[in-house]
Amino acid sequence: MNTVKWSVNFCDLPRAGTLDHKNFEVIFRIHGLSTRSEISIEESLNEMNKLLVLGAKSFIIDIDLILTQSSFDYLTQGPLELILRQSDQAKLPLSLRVKDFGLAYFASRSKSHIPLQLNLESGHHNWRSIEEWIRSLAIGTCGPNQLERIILSPELPGEWLKKYCFNIDSLAKELKRGPIQKEILTAGPILLFTSPRKLLSAVIEEYQATNLTAVVDSQESPHHGFIAYENAQGTVLFHPKRLNLLSEDIGALGITHQRIEWKLPGSQQQESESQAQARKEFFQLGKILADHYPYPSIPGFFHSNRSQVLFSKLKNKNLNRSEAELLESQKMVIGHIVDVIKSEGLILFVEANVGIKMGDNLEIINPEGLSVSLVLEKLQNLDGEEKEFIGQGELAFIPYVRKMVSQSIVLKEL
């Protein structure tokens, strides 16, 4: 493998044992700045100073928040301004990693003395998108070299990564600037989505903790074991398996930095003894073999893009009824439950052109296959008005039925 530098999270660093800090650059995910926050501003500054004494060469502040106008104003005037000011005073070798375009633009104009890393892991799979990001941000007020690195998507096949790395190098020459570093996640949790909403505490009412971690299943497919994590910034969801490209010659593609992640956010995710030992050995040796990464893992999209797999394989059979099945049971699907008001009622989106009316014999089936029969004796619209009939394309409020959740299908006798 060509020489490729390692990027690691601060929470993954061993607290004891042999560690050559010069071989690793450390990513800090800080409270108020990251969806996967691990450490406070004050603690991060103290740890950076300690690592600097031990020989660390660079630190990265990772900001991956979904920013509204108010959160942007708070961030740039509050925690971000605070940590950058204090790091300047301490002369810390700091880089800023951002995902939000507005924040990237702000940093290129207002903090142009700080190297900027552009996180394009989510939603940037075509070259035109990547090119325009680089062109827009390669002209900071202190010169074109502020843009230090591009973090490419782990969903790109290897052949695309190689092509994009070549294009980035060519574009850097065209812009008459120094080389732009390229990074991908080589081994670690696969992030599926980020939401600013607190999705776990909304359903786990008995827990009022600041941080929540849970293993969740899909209601729409047989897939299970997803890891969900919630903190003050919102909720993130991870694939049940981790990405593992450790057997690939990443350097041959033009990648300059590979990121390896061990610990998931949240204190409830404890390492096994074998995982802790493998992590310790990685930091001692500065390398790791693919089969020594001690987690269930997959190569993702690296060798081929399998997004064209038949979607029928992903469908929940409990929520799908063939025409033959419906004909035999003399029923038809009239809609889906789109929301539940606990102990009060179910909100039904009426899809069938026959609509729904008082006295209908209904069958409601939840994603787990549980079925409940119901004679409709009460029917309202969302304004609470009593109705005899609600038509296609409208929302109906029907009586509450336990265990009938969002996505449950509603059948009606013909």
pLDDT in tens, 293-313: 999 999 988 886 555 554 455
What is the CATH architecture assignment of 5-194+240-298?
A: Alpha-Beta Barrel (3.20)
322: pLDDT strictly greater than 90: no
Q: How far is CA 137 from the centre of its chain?
A: 24
27-36 confidence digits (pLDDT tens) = 999 998 998 8
The domain defined by 316-413 folds into: Elongation Factor Tu (Ef-tu); domain 3 (2.40.30)
CB 66 within 8 A of CB 100: yes
173-208 confidence digits (pLDDT tens) = 999 888 999 999 999 999 998 888 888 877 766 555
Residue range 125-132: average pLDDT? 94
Domains 5-194+240-298 and 316-413 in one fold: no
Residue 318's pLDDT band, with cuts at 50, 70 and 90, is low
pTM: 0.74
Specify the length of the chain in residues: 414
State residue 214's pLDDT score: 82
321: pLDDT strictly greater than 90: no
Q: Which of 202-211, 215-224, 260-269 has the lowest mean pLDDT?
A: 202-211
53-66 confidence digits (pLDDT tens) = 888 888 999 999 88
d(CA 238, CA 189): 6
Residue range 118-145: average pLDDT? 82
State residue 326's pLDDT score: 67
CB 27 within 8 A of CB 51: no
Q: Find tokens 């740890």 and name the residue.
A: 47
Give me the residue spans of the domains in the chain.
5-194+240-298, 316-413
